[in-house]
Structure 1
Amino acid sequence: MTAARTLRPPANSVDPDGEFPLGPPEYFFYLLFQAARQRDLFFDRELAPVGLNLAQWRSLAIIRRLESCTMTALARFSTIDRTTLTRAVDQLVTRGVVERIVPDRDRRQINLQLTTHGKTVYSQAVEILKDRNRRVLSEVDPKRLREATRVLQEALLKLAGEGELAIDLLNFGATAPPEEA
């Protein structure tokens, strides 16, 4: 039995159709926030045996995704405040999970990369997360999941201003393939 079948909107529902407690746009973002928060709480708890907290995990995952990234790029994708982010990265560096690299082309810049140990920690953590994601979404039809993902893409595009930031966030840092001549 799914939650949608057992829920009844309260008598004070403001949804014109009476299906949800709030209007669909407001309820959508309320549910999005609550789902993300519950997922974060779960991951913060479940990543402890691997030696990570949520801020460290996000940092680790983004550094791995970008392969080599600056603190600016990490801040852009992580949604973690700069003080917490710096502390998380410092802890990862101290533990030998991440290393700071100064590129030859620009000695003023510092890039972050996973160490060999960091790749191992990432592999352990990502399995915990993938397993949870699979279990949470196991009964959702793949077509509906893709449609929901497209709705979130549209919302993010509008929220981030439809410019370079939005495109960068939607592509999660992936660079465009080189153009063919």
Structure 2
Amino acid sequence: MIIHDSQRGTGFLLTDSARLLRKLIDRRLQPLGLSRAQWSILAILSNQEGLSQSQISSKLEIEKSTAGRLIDQVEKSGWIERRPIVGDRRVWGIYLTNQARQLLAQVETVILHSRTEMLNGLSAEQQQSLSEMLQTVKSNLSTALEFDQRPIPAVAETAPYDGNHAN
């Protein structure tokens, strides 16, 4: 095993907590007929309607074809509709239907209840501190990702690391 249980720290706890929260919310939204991917689209559109399929795929960080199939499913459920975008006949904007707006009120209740359970036992100050710390972690990871996307300069070939040299 690469990482022993005794060495699992903050990263493991963040990942595992996020997984458990997603699982809890998924379970609670299932009776509403929503999968995680479907409610993710509705959540995005609740903040910004009229996005194109391409914009939604970018926000969800999934392939355009995958987003297209997902949008088709959500449209068949009657929760969204496509409308032409003025000035561009090739692109359609995606909008919530009234049925989706009613559904989103139920989704919001589930999410807020789950969030309350997640933060149970933390004072308001601790919750604020946790949010600030997680925002810093998120910012650090975003910066690291941006840095990693830069071209890597060619490095002179060196001898392989044998574990015997000090840094």
The normalised TM-score by structure 2 is: 0.73
**8 Å CA contact 1:100, 1:113 repeated in 2:** yes
1:153, distance to aligned residue in structure 2 (A): 1.7
For the pair shown, the structure with the greater C-alpha radius of gyration is: 2
**How many residue pairs get matched?**
143
Q: What is the aligned-residue identity percentage? A: 25
1:139, distance to aligned residue in structure 2 (A): 1.6
Determine the structure 2 residue equivalent to 1:148.
130
Determine the structure 2 residue equivalent to 1:40.
22
1:161, distance to aligned residue in structure 2 (A): 2.9
Q: Is 1:66 matched with 2:48? A: yes
> C-alpha separation between the residues in 2 aligned to 1:67 and 1:123?
16
Give the unaligned 5+ runs of structure 2: 147-167
Q: Which protein, 1 or 2, shows the higher relative CO under an 8 Å CA cutoff with sep ≥ 6?
A: 2
CA RMSD of aligned residues (A): 2.5
Amino acid at match of 2:131: T
Q: 3-state DSSP class of the match of 1:47?
A: helix
The normalised TM-score by structure 1 is: 0.68
1:93, distance to aligned residue in structure 2 (A): 0.4
Determine the structure 1 residue equivalent to 2:114.
132
- Please state which structure has a larger fraction of its residues in strand: 2
Distance 1:41 1:97, change over 3 A: same
**8 Å CA contact 1:56, 1:92 repeated in 2:** yes
**8 Å CA contact 1:96, 1:115 repeated in 2:** yes
Determine the structure 1 residue equivalent to 2:57.
75
CA shift digits 1:35-68 (9 cap, x unpaired): 1111111122211111101111111111111233
